[in-house]
Structure formats: structure tokens, C-alpha cells
Amino acid sequence: MKLHFAANSRAMRVAWLLEELELPYELISYGLGAPEMRSPEFRQLHPMGRVPVLEDGDVTLFESGAILEYVLSRYGEGRLRPDVSSPAYPTYLQWFHYCEGMIMPPVNNYMVETFFLPPKRQSEVHAKRARKLLGQMLIAVDHALDGQDYLAGEFSAADIMTGSAAMTSKRADVDLSEMPNLTAYLERLSARPAFQTAAALS
């Protein structure tokens, strides 16, 4: 497998999963927004010129969640997700998709207003609104972790997806002081050797 990767991007989730499963892969690394990602050749892999992209023989996939589901289905051998007959499976699905549905939209809005737009076009009002909404999304994660270490019982790909999104939300300076479950959760995730290996990639 080949993983097209950039640090501080959703490609981190894919690398983390591959490390957790101890699957061999070739890393093709780019600087975030590198010109070669806008080349016609790269756009054959991802039409928007972004990462992650996974190449696996004749299969080429983009979108981090789709890649994780593909890898788990083809190579996971039942690891890192509950069986469909398990009572934990619906919860797993919910938190697997929560990151992109609920956490990343306000993260994206905040980053646009504070980083991507030129200063004259930035809106402090919009940035504060995005940060407030993000805090509300994270409170739900904190509540879900009450009395348990991971979102669907045992550590799973749902933690890779929503856990990585929660880590990314730190860039928005959300106050986590009243979210002790989430704070401890992020510390647990950050201590995992597979996460540390993926986080060190560049």
C-alpha cells in the first residue's frame, strides 16, 4: 500500500490505523498545500488535490473515513471495530462518523477565519461562533466517555476518527478545563505507540 500523506492533515488518521494494525505501507509525504498536489498527475488520484490518498494495487481511495473502512474490511481481521452483531456496533458507527459530521465543520470554519483568510477579511464574530459551537460538540464527547476509556467500549477506529478530530480542535483554543473525561481520553490516545509513530511522520 502507498499512503499519500501530509502532516497536520486527515492523512494522520490513516497512518495511525495502519500503525495500529501493523500493516506495511509506503509513505509518500508532501508539505501541506504543496504545488505537486495540484499537478494533473496527482489530481488523477484526488480530484481536489488533497490528502490522504491510499493506493492498494488497483484500488485508489481518498477520504479518510472511507480509507479506514476499506482497510478494516480488507485487512483488519476483525480488529479495531466491533462485530456487526455486537451491541457496541451502533455506538461505534455513531462515533466513527461524529468527527466529520459534528467536530470538523466548526474546526474548519475557525481555521478559515483565523488562518486561511487574509486579515482584512477575517471575522472575529464568526471565529468566536465556530469556537463556541466546537466546544458544544466536544462536550458531547466528554459525556460519552463518562465511566469508560473509549467511545465504543474497547479502543477502536471510532477513537482514531473522533479522537484525532478532538486533538485537531485544540488549534481552536477550546477550553477543555471542564471536560475531564475528554482531557484524560486525549492523553490516553496520545500515549499509544502507534499514534506516536504516526504523529512523528513528515
Same fold for the pair 2-80 and 89-197 = no
Q: Which residues contact 178 (CB under 8 A, 6 or more apart)?
A: none
> pLDDT tens digit string along 83-136?
999 999 999 999 999 999 999 999 999 988 988 888 889 999 998 999 999 999
CATH for the 89-197 domain, from 3.40.1390.10, 1.20.810.10, 1.20.1050.10, 3.40.228.10: 1.20.1050.10
Q: What is the structure's pLDDT at 20?
A: 98
**CA–CA dist 49, 52 (Å, integer):** 10
Question: Can you name the CATH fold of 2-80?
Answer: Glutaredoxin (3.40.30)
CA-based torsion, 8, 10, 16, 22: positive or negative: negative
Q: What is the structure's pLDDT at 173?
A: 82
Domain ranges of the chain: 2-80, 89-197
> pLDDT tens digit string along 39-77?
999 999 999 999 999 999 999 999 999 999 999 999 999
